Structure 1
Amino acid sequence: MAVYGYRKVHRQLIRQGWSGIGRDQVLHVILSLGIQGIRRGRIPIPTRSVRSTGGRPDLVERRFSAAAPGRLHVADITYVHLSDGSFAYVAFVTDAYARRIVGWAVSASQPTKDLPLLTLDQSIGWAARHGDTLGLVHHSNHGTQYISVLYGSHLNEHDILASTGSVGDSYDNALGETVNSAYKTEQIHRGRPIDRVKALEQATFQWAFWWSQKRFHETLNYLTPAEVEARYYKSQVIPITPKTNKTMLTKSSPLQMA
């Protein structure tokens, strides 16, 4: 909660039983104590872009939402400046339905294939455990790591639809950049300098877990990704009745977007 502004602090207090406290009261206390929630800045994209998108369409068109988990994944890479003067690179894959991070990896260098493929494999495993990958849309920017033949082949093997935004427009991968920006602001810039890749891996693991399990998201009506997913899966269960005689799960159309 140390990174929260007054709106999220207010939500946290309500959850803890402070039902009588108002949002303006929380703001007044925070200001009187000189406390301020952190603010995110724009994060540069470290991928080396090419003019071609590899023939991939933009299946998202800036609509970063989905009707169900496992229908749209968004991938991106950012970098971290280590205290010894070197750089490390971090890749994320985010499920658009509840903003859960379904894949992440850290590397001391920026390879053309290994780093994004690690996160892709993680996201494929997550999608397989929560349904299947048939019709899953995997969206990225036009960095060489993402439009490579190897990356595309990996998507095809699992019946995943590749999607790439236009060249030179960061808004076409806005969800990926949002995750990168939050990661840098909430975990990297507010703590002590990180001098080793191993320490960065631990910090990234802690943040990714918090982001998906504990962090309130304004776009989710101040719920956590885990809570939003739990509500979805609960809504899909048909109660046992004499007619059904069993519990069945319904599934959204693979390409249905919210």
Structure 2
Amino acid sequence: MRRAADLPRVTPTGGRVAYKRVQRLMRALGLVSVHPKARKATTVQAAEPSRLPDLVSQDFTADAPNRLWFGDITYVRTWDGWAYVASVIDAFSRKVVDWAVADHMRTDLVLDALRMAITRRHPPKDVIFHADRGSQYTSKEFVDFCKINNVRNSVGRTGICFDNAAAESFWATLKKEFIHLHPFDTVERLRTGVFEYIEVYYNRFRIHSTIGYLTPVEFEDEFDKKGDRAA
């Protein structure tokens, strides 16, 4: 494998190049992609069809924090076996409100992520939480927890990836920028790494085009300042 410093410098021309040409040139240079295709399913449909509504209809926007949250589960291979990460993301600022890591993807995983998000943010009554129709998010335990905590359940349609596209987009970013660049020997090491990526970098330093090229923390701070001025 050649190092980046050993590769010839190439000036972009803006021309169109077929992907097979890129593959051939990468092979010639000894390069491989660090963005492998997904190989493990994390959405397991419930045995009984869910009657939960879709309150989002692919509109992952909000006019204030804590109006709409969305989340999902993804998987990460460690030397100890598969690990799973659950997220809760605010649609207004794209801030990862909270998350959880475990060596299983039972309902407890998504409950832990949502429970910590509620504890951290104290959302107003009837905040929407949107997810896919996986058995974790449609389980009686999860639905009952949301009802007790005044969270409105929302789920996308079966087999329509666009219905939870914003959550999928975050997983793609996490894996491209962090997971696929680092090996993890244990679930605990993964948990530490995810904490550093989300809490230290993603929420505070990574800019987002959808929020005016600000970071999630900056975007929410600007919103709070406007509220103070209006008051």
Same fold (TM over 0.5): yes
Aligned residue in 2 for 1:189:
180
Root-mean-square deviation (CA, aligned residues, Å) is 2.2
Deviation (angstroms), 1:238 = 3.9
1:55 corresponds in structure 2 to 51
The one-character-per-residue Cα deviations of 1:37-82 (angstroms, maximum 9, x if unpaired) are: x996765651212375521111000000100000000010000011
The one-letter code sitting in structure 2 at the alignment partner of 1:203 is G
Q: Secondary structure at the match of 1:213?
A: coil
CA-to-aligned-CA distance 1:77-122 (integer Å, 9 cap, x gap): 00001135x10011111011000001111101222x2100000101
Letter in 1 for 2:60: F
Are 1:152 and 2:143 matched, yes or no? yes
Taking structure 1 as the reference length, the TM-score comes to 0.72
Alpha-carbon shift at residue 149 of structure 1 (Å): 0.6
Aligned length: 200
Corresponding residue of 2:77: 81
Pair 1:202 & 2:197 matched: no
Contact residue 40 and residue 182 of structure 1 kept, 8 A = no
Letter in 1 for 2:91: A
Q: Closer, same or farther in 2 for the Cα pair 1:205/1:69, shift >3 Å? A: same
Stretches of 4+ aligned residues off by more than 2 angstroms: 38-45, 50-54
Contact 2:100 2:112 in 1 (8 A): yes
> Where do 5+ consecutive residues of structure 1 fail to align?
1-26, 29-37, 240-247, 249-258
Considering fraction of residues, name the structure with more helix: 2
Runs of at least 5 residues in structure 2 that lack an aligned partner in the other structure: 1-10, 13-32
CA positional deviation for 1:135: 1.9
Change (3 A) 1:114 1:236: same
Alpha-carbon distance between aligned partners in 2 of 1:170 and 1:220, rounded to the nearest angstrom: 23
Task: Look up the SS of the partner of 1:99 in the other structure.
Answer: coil
Q: Classify the secondary structure of the residue corresponding to 1:121.
A: helix
